[in-house]
Structure 1
Amino acid sequence: MANKVSIPSKIFGTVLAHSMRGKMLSRTELQTLAESRDVEELVTRMKNTIYLDALAKLTKPYTAEKVEGALREHLVNTHAKMVTLSGGAGVLNAYFVKYITWNLKIILKGKALGRTYEELLPKINLRAEELVGRRDLVVKALVAKDFDEAVASLQGSEFGEDARKAAAVYKEKGDVRAFDTYLDHAFYKSLDKSMFSESPLQDVQKLVTVDIDAYNVLAVLRAKYWGLSAQETSDLIATTTTKISRDTLQKMINVEKIQEAIGELSNTAYRDLIPKSAENDIDAIMQLEEGFERASVRRIMASYRTVFTLGNMLATLKLMMLEIRNLAAIAAGVEQKIPVDKIMASMAKTTVQ
């Protein structure tokens, strides 16, 4: 059964979504923030933006980590408000899982690299888990004495099998990005279920399709880079869309070289994203990832042409996720005294205004 969003809720939710979109920071405002001399000055400047309340609880000394944690909590609270306004729309609920996978990625990568509980704790914000009653899941992994115990703690949850496979790839290949790919697989499986229940919502589908396509293509390419078998690679494919069919993904799996696999996109709607010049396979994959991100932002902006839709709410949440990622990058850059032009270059592809 599709979730029916009541008309008043939809109107109130989309008005809020449009209002929030209108308050998002321009590139000039982001540049001003990046020009801060230190994190304390950055926090002072950010208090002149919509993030005033989000930063109100921060205590000195300010750090980039504390700023990011406060911003993520604000994002989670805003997302929860949207879910309530939408009457519990499945697709908005499904995107909530992203915050849980975010924490699990930090924990598993950290444990794999020998980080202690004390080192990892400040990086974790459990607000999302508290809202959906999943706090124990993340805490068990966080307090585990080592990497293997953290992975084992997830068995029995929807992340268990993917965490186990990611651990095996990491142990063999030494690439922590395995955790990104495999935990995203768990997320897209849950997203698929919600999309099935809300399939008539075309405005939502357009936004979600680009995410699924990006995940599938990049998962196949990374699996090729790691030298996984055809079956292991195929197992990473979540669900497929009409834009990039399972047949196309299978052709990508079957060819030998990564560049050849990317070439298979020439027969899809994403042919324009194929990198024109890449130094090596990893560079090609990263260029493609940035291309998909730009395509996602274009799709988000186009979704506002139709008003009073669930898509407006999802689009605004996705923009907010990007903005907060940019602000976290600014905070880290300011703290590490990275030149302003370098900080700004790192987010050139994803600024939303």
Structure 2
Amino acid sequence: MIRLVTPRTLFVVLGLACLLAVWLSLALGPVSLPMMDTLRAGLRLLGLPVNGAGLEQAELILGQIRLPRTLLGLAVGAVLALAGVAMQGLFRNPLADPGLVGVSSGAALGAAIAIVGSAWVGGIPEAFAPYLLSLCAFLGGLGVTALVYRLGRKDGQTSVATMLLAGIALTALASSAVGLFTYLADDATLRTLTFWNLGSLNGASYQRLWPLVLVAAGVALWLPRRAEALNAMLLGESEARHLGFEVEKLKRELVFCTALGVGAAVAAAGLIGFIGLVVPHLIRLLAGPDHRVLLPASLLAGASLLLFADLAARLVLAPAELPIGIVTAFIGAPFFLYLLLRGRA
């Protein structure tokens, strides 16, 4: 594969793009802030001694609304892109997606159970209610992924093809269960469930943010340590074993890492598609398949792309807000069709 840019150039461009995305995400919205006021208010929030005359409104908007939303977007985009790299490495297919192991559909089922079930049961303790949806979505994603992995195991070996087929079957089963809950829901819960399935960073808070940040940091620190093993997997499982890598252990770790990261991201922001497919493939086209470059570059690109998509969601129909899943689908679907046509050519 031809490398179009050097890794150093790629990281400089992606780093600048990420900084620009963060700055624009903090400055723009229903109430737009001047760029310099945004910078000064941000420095004051960090505790730096900056003249704060006339910055009270900017500090309030940044500290309570836009900063947690921006950090949530960075974490979600980064972890979805890293999970996409992990799945494409596991299946040795650049068109693989984190949803192939059932984590997204499992999280959607968990969310449906939480949204519709809480309306039926009622009486949820007030202290627990804000976390019920995220917890059920996270557990649903982990549960379905664990079942997919278990079905793919036989005689101490994990069959990637069997996992793929099991993931497709369980995704269809979970989707039908979500459809059943959608049919049984009343108007209020149906609206909540529909908008959650479209994904959004709206309503971000530090309480929702910190579990995802911990998971994203763990995934971002762990996956690059397996870059050499993922490079060896490109040659095939037998070749990777002959090179001294523990292939079965690597498969378990990749599946667990994907389930943990995507489950936490979906629990925090709902279903957001195409980031895990588009970003790794785009970076691979630019810089080649070396996972030592692919993983950190995908982290930066995923975080930047999701923030730019969130900006579009906020600004296109302002003061109304589009679900971010619609924006990423508009970006990802044409790119996916381009890849198909390019492959045919």
TM-score, with normalisation over the residues of structure 2?
A: 0.29
Larger relative contact order, structure 1 or 2 (CA cutoff 8 Å, min sep 6): 2
The alignment's TM-score, normalised by the length of structure 1, stands at 0.29
The answer to which structure has the higher helix fraction is: 2
